[in-house]
Structure 1
């Protein structure tokens, strides 16, 4: 399975990459952001990629490497949420990946232990970078988050505006998921009632169980519905249950990006 092969690749490549630095390919920093009226702090991770290079979205597809965040270097932080602007779909050698190129802004909302005090956000982030080959890359970032900074950052606000629309805002009226048994897991068919799009739509389907792997779907318009068909398997290769309400479907390549949570039978 491609995902198992990717796991092995992630385990082996840091040693291979140690002989060559890719720091000139990736620049990363945390933007200082601003303190929100509710006491949270809005900041962002800014990744700048050299021309021709790309990095990956939260669900990168069969050919990508998922980003991982470790914020143990933070102070006065209770929790942190990552907002994902709509990514691009890339095709290379017949394989699909989902991610970003150029300047990437990932907004971060930080919930503080003490909203009246300054905070510090710092940590280690493992990402995948890709040109002719795809490699894991580790970046370290840190920034002071001042409680006195109240002015919003237009760059972060613009990235927030690129986050996919919710189902209701995009005109989605119904989402049905049909599950069928297969020898290698389950077949999954998602049928979405929504306004007709561009005909170039791609979908990404995520399960709330991290042990489930969802293959890249085949997506197209059928009888007025956007239909995505794929298969789901468990990492162990054993039997499993699939919670339809825990599925997350993202539509890319249409008139607007759409984020759908859950579906019915």
Structure 2
């Protein structure tokens, strides 16, 4: 596997943002509903100019992960972004993962005051791509003040597009074997899992934003899907990975699978 660090790749991929590209992506806050525990569901809809795309939370070996800053929000304790299953874009010598034209990102919001509205204020730094990739910053803000308890169809539909859980997909075993080679940590995951369809892609996340993870080399024999990655700290520091924090996503043509954690081999 070829070792490349995300900061270097981002610098190579990003070009200065042309004035005409400032409007290639727009954001809109959607009201959702109140959960039985008093927390809230809302969503951010991102709409891109025709043909443009943006990245998933784990964008591939040469992608730019989006970064959310919720500073300035009120009555907001935590936010969980519920990512619908993304598309794998395979081009010559380049594979990225994301969404084209439009994506609706559901938000599960934990509030401090269960009966009060939420003032949501977020800045999203991301990459958007057509023939080249350019940086974009999206500002989305608004008051979430609905008292509805019925699910909003558009948000519910996006929630339904999330990857299957390990249990739903029929995973029976997920192990991770780790070893150091040439100063890098190598992780090999072995998944006992029915085929997800087509050319499966495995994405492994370390659980540490400062740890770079290579694109996985994967193979399947029957119900056993194996994937290998290199990991390295972006500053060159020692890498320490918890198996419980490892997140493995299998992207297939029939469905996708979200696997949280693995056990020793």
Return the TM-score normalized by structure 1: 0.91
Structure 1 position 242, deviation (Å): 2.6
1:115 is aligned to 114
Match of 1:54 in 2: 53
64-73 or 191-200, which moves further after superposition? Answer: 191-200
CA contact (8 A) 1:214 1:232 kept: yes
Cα distance in structure 1, aligned partners of 2:196 and 2:145: 43
Q: Deviations over 1:50-98 (max 9, x none)?
A: 2211000011112211111111231221221110110011123311111
Equivalent-residue separation in structure 1 for 2:72 and 2:60 (angstroms): 29
| Residue correspondence of structure 1 range 10-89 to structure 2 within 5 A | 16-17=16-17, 20-89=19-88
Aligned mates of 1:216, 1:164 — CA distance in 2:
19
Identify unmatched segments of 5+ residues in structure 1. Answer: none
Query: Which of structure 1's runs of 4+ aligned residues deviate more than 3 A?
Result: 6-10
- Number of residue pairs matched? 261
1:1-265 equivalent positions in 2, closer than 5 A: 1-6=4-9, 8=11, 16-17=16-17, 20-222=19-221, 224-265=223-264
Per-residue deviation, residues 129-172 of structure 1 (Å, max 9, x unmatched):
00111111011111211142333210000000011111111100
RMSD of aligned residue pairs (Cα, Å): 1.9
The farther-off stretch of 225-234 and 192-201 is 192-201
C-alpha separation in 2, matches of 1:197 and 1:43: 30
Unaligned runs of 5+ in 2: none
Assess, with a 3 A threshold, how the Cα gap between structure 1 residues 195 and 21 changes in structure 2: closer, same or farther: same
Further displaced range: 124-133 or 238-247: 238-247
Structure 2 distance, partners of 1:126, 1:21, is: 18
Aligned mates of 2:261, 2:110 — CA distance in 1: 26
> How far did 1:21 drift?
4.1
For 1:19-53, what per-residue CA distance to the aligned partner results, in whole angstroms no more than 9, with x for missing partners? 51424311211101122221111100100112211
TM-score (norm 2): 0.91
- CA separation of 1:186/1:22 partners in 2, compared to 1, >3 Å: closer, same or farther? same
